[in-house]
Amino acid sequence: MYPWFAFGHMTPCLHLSNELADRGHKITFILPRKAQSQLQHLNLHPTLITFHPLTIPHVDGLPSGAETASDVPNFLHHLLATAMDRTTDQVEAALRALKPDLFLFDFLHLAPALTSKVGIKSIYYSAVCAAAFARHPVPGQQVSKDRPITAVTPPGYPSSTVVLRPNQERLFYISEFFFSLRCQRLTTGMKCCDAISRRTCHEIEGPFCDYIGGQYGKPVFLTGPVLPTPLEDRWPQWLGGFKPGSVIFCAFGSQNFQEKDQFQELLLGLELTGLPFLVALKPPTGA
């Protein structure tokens, strides 16, 4: 298992590893060295799930010690992706030593070529919802800096209601990260892998998963939601003290850094709802 160096990718991959370990499978989880201590507590099967830490190679422009997407702003993520590409020699050495049956990846577009060289099947695994992923990028809607995505859905897209507003179209194309990482890397990985897997279920996103499979000509295996272990008793007890649906949970992930005024406006807005809420946010920029 080798996910992108972001906790929003590594965490669901570790949840999947726990599910596989529940069924008796052994997993080697490849990750940056610094990330291991932050994920260790989520490993429910330490005898079956082994962390394999990598030394992240130096890339000009990448701050010293940066190993995950949380360590650098979005506009430097393409440098982190370059660092990931430069780990292939370490990954290949591990694969040759371990001889696994399958190699699960997401952003390492070099993975299918690497696994083919050592005789291993590769599976592209994504925790991103299929409806969003089927929207872009797909072979039926090739995009580039000169040909950006539009509100028009790609041919055969199974919904007429999922559209982008003009400001959303622009946001997808303002960073080099999107072009170099998403469009090229994701499509290359899915075109060249042996199979695709997604963290969803057919009852909810079946048409979108079928569409993705048809676009790439690959089987698509669904893992279900792969939820983490049940909450500690204190949380169901706390939530049970409110009427159903009355608690707001707001989480922007580990890569979102707001300005101080944005941070304050968000919290003030939540207070104005008059409802109980939980907020999980990075400290604002400069705090």
Instruction: Tell me yes or no: is domain 7-222 CATH 3.40.190.10.
Output: no
What are the residue ranges in the chain where pLDDT is below 50?
A: 171, 173-176
Give this prediction's pTM. Answer: 0.81
Instruction: Report the C-alpha gap between 74 and 87 in whole angstroms.
Output: 21
Q: What's 146-189 look like in SS3?
A: CCCCCCCCCCCCCCCCCCCCHHHHHHCCCCHHHHHHHHHHHHHH
Point out which residues pair with 138 in neighbouring strands: 141
Q: Which residues make Cβ contacts (< 8 Å) with residue 136, sequence separation at least 6?
A: 143, 149, 154, 172
Start and end residues for every CATH 3.40.50.2000 domain found in the chain: 7-222
The reported pLDDT for the residue numbered 174 is 45
The reported pLDDT for the residue numbered 131 is 85
